């Protein structure tokens, strides 16, 4: 029996309103127990909507046509919904924003307590979960989660999910915002969790380099429909399809194409740097055996030449820059500029700012004009975000150019009505 069965799933936001949008369109999907499935797609393709159906966070709209069975339980059955949510662990993007308790141990224990477990078992689960994610219990148990580093916070948040020992683990962009070292650590942790805690893992990611090497199967969405389903090699070998989806192939695939263009016959289905290196070593060895040691002496020069090109191939090899700025644009923001940029970063004279939605944790890049409006709706969850610009830290807000402390004759201290703390204190 598959761990997850989805049949004819359709979901429409703001149904029967002018803002109606079909997020999922007749999705059919089966996920086998013990598999690692990567969900990919451009912003707005339906990825988050799909995974939030799997533990009942989003309810099935048309129960007559659609059906979701998870571990033998229907997501539409209210009687088993509580048990279902314990068996399907959900790690949201920026999970550290889910931390709330005054100690790490209490935060990790929150889920097991809601499961009505005995104190001894709760304590045992907390210790085990912290050990699995690499947080020493004696060192971190009594520390405030808000005093931890970014990577430690994320580990603590993940520990809170796995302490419930879910059979299925769902991760939404688990490495978003991390540096390359932190990203590698979390990806290694995810593979460890599959072996030791949750045999079935579903991971949503915008980073094709990460998903290509960690997932066993790739499911690609576009406009709420599944447009590709197969192994990473099968999916990423279809360059045209990946481009149509609005994604990019892994960096190693780009390099493989460059080598092929130069007459070096590397395999076209290369998706990782390790594979590419092995391919180059194999080709060099074969050529040397056939024609002599120096017959392929130009290979090293070709390799160096192509690697040098990476520094200037901004458009063709954008994923190289994404090792630093994950799916970010040239301004350094984390937005998907082609689809949902609010920062105006493509305008040379426009300055952008980052804000974080307190409801869903979405990082939003906005322009100065939007900031001046003092409010906007979160593009991810629709929450109204309000910005308070009153605390300006200035000595004088009236706009005069005098040295107010020494020779002010404009009465700016009396006339200023901006309301900021600095000006009120001056009065």
* Domain of residue 8, CATH code: 3.40.50.300
Q: Are 104 and 94 contacting, i.e. CB atoms less than 8 angstroms apart?
A: no
Strands, E assignment, 213-337: 217-222, 225-230
Distance, CA of 202 to CA of 217 (rounded, Å): 10
Q: Are 259 and 298 contacting, i.e. CB atoms less than 8 angstroms apart?
A: no
95 with 216, same domain: the answer is: yes
Q: Are 342 and 364 contacting, i.e. CB atoms less than 8 angstroms apart?
A: yes
Q: Is residue 29 part of a domain?
A: yes
200 with 239, same domain: the answer is: yes
> Does the predicted TM-score (pTM) go above 0.75?
no
Q: Is residue 330 part of a domain?
A: no
User: Number of C-alpha atoms within 13 angstroms, CB side, residue 189?
Assistant: 26
Q: Is residue 332 part of a domain?
A: no
Q: How many domains does the chain have?
A: 4
User: Number of C-alpha atoms within 13 angstroms, CB side, residue 180?
Assistant: 8
Burial grade of 372 (CB within 10 A; 0-12, 13-18, 19 or more): exposed
Distance, CA of 394 to CA of 125 (rounded, Å): 52
* Per-residue pLDDT, 293: 54
104 with 173, same domain: the answer is: yes
Count CB neighbours of 338 within 10 A: 11
411 with 276, same domain: the answer is: no
pLDDT by position in tens, the chain (length 427) = 799 999 999 999 998 899 999 999 999 999 999 999 999 999 889 999 999 999 899 999 999 999 999 999 999 998 999 999 999 999 988 877 888 899 999 999 999 999 999 999 999 999 999 999 999 999 999 999 989 888 888 899 999 999 999 999 999 988 888 888 888 888 999 999 998 889 999 999 988 999 998 999 999 999 999 999 999 999 998 988 998 988 988 989 988 888 888 888 888 889 988 888 898 888 888 877 777 555 445 555 555 555 555 544 444 444 444 443 344 444 444 444 444 454 444 444 456 677 777 766 677 777 666 666 667 767 666 667 776 654 444 444 444 555 554 555 555 545 555 555 445 555 5
310 with 348, same domain: the answer is: no
Q: Is residue 331 part of a domain?
A: no
43 with 58, same domain: the answer is: yes
233 with 150, same domain: the answer is: yes
Q: Is residue 63 part of a domain?
A: yes
Residues with Cβ within 8 Å of 116's Cβ and at least 6 positions away in sequence, in order, are none
Choose one of 272, 289, 321: the last residue of a domain.
Answer: 321
314 with 408, same domain: the answer is: no
Distance, CA of 233 to CA of 279 (rounded, Å): 15
Nearest to 2 by CA among 27, 26, 24, 35: 35
157 with 226, same domain: the answer is: yes
Q: Is residue 328 part of a domain?
A: no
Q: Is residue 356 part of a domain?
A: yes
Give CA separation, 160 vs 53, 63, 100, 132, 390, in Å.
21, 32, 11, 11, 38
Give CA separation, 231 vs 219, 271, 297, 367, in Å.
9, 11, 35, 40
342 with 317, same domain: the answer is: no
145 with 255, same domain: the answer is: no
**Residue range of the domain that includes 289:** 251-321
φ and ψ at 375, to 5 degrees?
A: -165, 155
Choose one of 224, 245, 266: the last residue of a domain.
Answer: 245
Nearest to 199 by CA among 87, 52, 342, 40: 87
50 with 171, same domain: the answer is: yes
Q: Is residue 295 part of a domain?
A: yes
């Amino acid at each position: 029996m598959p761990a997850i069965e989805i049949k004819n799933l359709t979901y429409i936001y703001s149904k029967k309103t002018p803002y109606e949008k079909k997020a999922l369109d007749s999705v059919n999907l089966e996920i086998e127990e013990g598999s690692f499935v990567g969900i990919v797609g451009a912003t707005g393709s339906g990825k988050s909507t799909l995974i939030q159906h799997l533990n009942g966070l989003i309810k099935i709209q048309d129960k007559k046509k659609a059906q979701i069975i998870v571990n033998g339980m229907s997501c539409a059955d209210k009687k088993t919904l509580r048990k279902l949510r314990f068996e399907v662990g959900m790690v949201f993007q920026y999970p550290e924003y889910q931390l709330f308790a005054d100690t790490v141990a209490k935060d990790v224990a929150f889920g097991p307590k809601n499961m009505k477990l005995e104190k001894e078992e709760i304590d045992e689960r907390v210790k085990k979960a912290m050990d699995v994610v690499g947080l020493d219990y004696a060192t971190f148990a009594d520390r405030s989660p808000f005093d931890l580093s970014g990577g430690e916070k994320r580990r603590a948040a993940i520990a809170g999910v796995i302490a419930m020992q879910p059979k299925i683990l769902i991760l939404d962009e688990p490495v978003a915002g991390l540096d390359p070292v932190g990203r590698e650590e979390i990806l290694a942790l995810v593979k460890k969790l599959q072996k030791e805690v949750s045999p079935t893992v579903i991971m949503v990611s915008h980073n094709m380099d990460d998903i290509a090497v960690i997932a066993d199967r790739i499911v690609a969405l576009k406009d709420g429909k599944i447009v590709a389903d197969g192994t990473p090699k099968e999916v990423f070998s279809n360059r045209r399809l990946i481009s149509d989806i609005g994604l990019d192939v892994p960096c190693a695939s780009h390099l493989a194409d460059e080598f092929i263009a130069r007459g070096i016959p590397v395999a076209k289905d290369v998706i990782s740097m390790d594979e590419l290196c092995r391919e180059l070593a194999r080709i060099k060895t074969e050529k040397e055996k056939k024609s002599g040691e120096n017959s392929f002496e130009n290979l090293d020069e070709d390799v160096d030449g192509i690697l040098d090109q990476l520094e200037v191939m901004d458009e063709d090899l954008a994923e190289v820059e994404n090792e630093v700025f994950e799916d970010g644009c040239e301004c350094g923001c984390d937005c998907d500029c082609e689809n949902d940029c609010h920062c105006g970063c493509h305008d040379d004279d426009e300055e952008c700012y980052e804000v974080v939605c307190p409801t869903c944790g979405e990082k939003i890049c906005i322009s100065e004009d939007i900031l001046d409006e003092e409010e906007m709706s979160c593009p991810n969850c629709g929450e109204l975000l309000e910005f308070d610009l009153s605390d300006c830290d200035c000595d004088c807000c009236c706009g005069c150019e005098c040295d107010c402390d020494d020779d002010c004759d404009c009465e700016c201290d009396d006339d200023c009505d901006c309301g900021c703390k600095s000006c009120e204190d001056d009065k």
